[in-house]
Amino acid sequence: MRVLAPGTTGPVATLRAMLLLLPCAALALALPEVPHWAVVAGVVVSSAVWARTPDHAAGVVSLVLVAGWWASRGVVDWRVLVVAVLLLVAHVCATLASYGPPTMAVDRRLARLWFSRALLALVPVPVAWLAVRGLDPELAPSWLWLATGAVVVVLLLATARVTRTDQA
């Protein structure tokens, strides 16, 4: 059985390889702690299916398994930030690969556009990370939530302006 269809371009093959590797890498960040074998098997299999068919619902399974396992640990450390980045990059890779058949070359301008969008989507991550790490919901004043929301919106707008391209 052929892994890649005839005529698959190099960038598309790279994107698909990343669909397989990134969720596995997000799980491997927990080493030396090893997840349950069922979780590992589920992530590998669903990621493989996702890499073969970027439009497949297996992508959701792969991402949910990784996010769920990290949530089950209950530790909000720096690695959670990396996991969020890896899962987002995997999602963007799948989106880029699903614009057309594997024989279609990846448009560089489209890739640049999605790179800037990924940066924009990452803006709320450090804010949320800081919020869940540094704040006690019971002690925090009520205006803090409003201020946090406003800061996120401002950061989103600023990032959108900085990363804006001609097509955006």
Contact pick of 20, 43, 65, 123 for other proteins (by CB under 8 A): 123
Tell me the DSSP string of 123-152.
THHHHHHHHHHH--TTTS-HHHHHHHHHHH
4 is an interface residue for other proteins by CB under 8 A: no
Backbone Cα Rg of the chain = 18
Q: Are 83 and 29 in contact (CB under 8 A)?
A: yes
Number of residues that bind other proteins (CB under 8 A): 53
63 is an interface residue for other proteins by CB under 8 A: yes
CA nearest 85: which of 161, 152, 146, 25?
25
33 is an interface residue for other proteins by CB under 8 A: no
- What does the binding site for other proteins look like in residue numbers (CB under 8 A)? 7, 54-57, 59-60, 63-64, 67-68, 70-71, 73-76, 80-81, 83-84, 87-88, 91, 94-95, 98-101, 103-105, 107, 109-110, 113, 117-118, 120-125, 127-129, 132-133, 156, 166-167
